[in-house]
Amino acid sequence: MKKSGCGLIALSPESGSMRVLTQLYGKKVDLNHIKSLVQFAHKIDLRTIVYFVIGCKGETLQDREETTRYIIDLTKVGMDEMGLFVFITHPETAITNRVYNNKFNVARWEDM
């Protein structure tokens, strides 16, 4: 990718907490692999931006602390930029159904 002219890659683990990733988001993410990718990209002078999401219902202070530690670890191995977003659900998606158990009409702001 670097040889072809790519200058930046974006990665989106979304959390540094395996509990959030597996139980709340239902994602299979290898955080160690992402860390290795960031480290390798830095070594070959390929810029990286890594995206995270906070504020999912059920996320705890401990989960946020794990994400903070993970962000620090990524910074130490060469992460160039980071994006941090607040969790917002979209109607009739798997994550909305899983997190809110169909108890809210997320199409209505009043129910969020």
**pLDDT per residue as tens digits for the range 25-53:** 889 999 999 999 999 999 999 999 999 99
Q: Stretch 71-81: mean pLDDT, rounded? A: 98
CB 105 within 8 A of CB 112: no
* pTM of the predicted protein model: 0.81
- CA–CA distances in Å: residue 80 to residues 1, 53, 62, 85: 17, 18, 25, 17
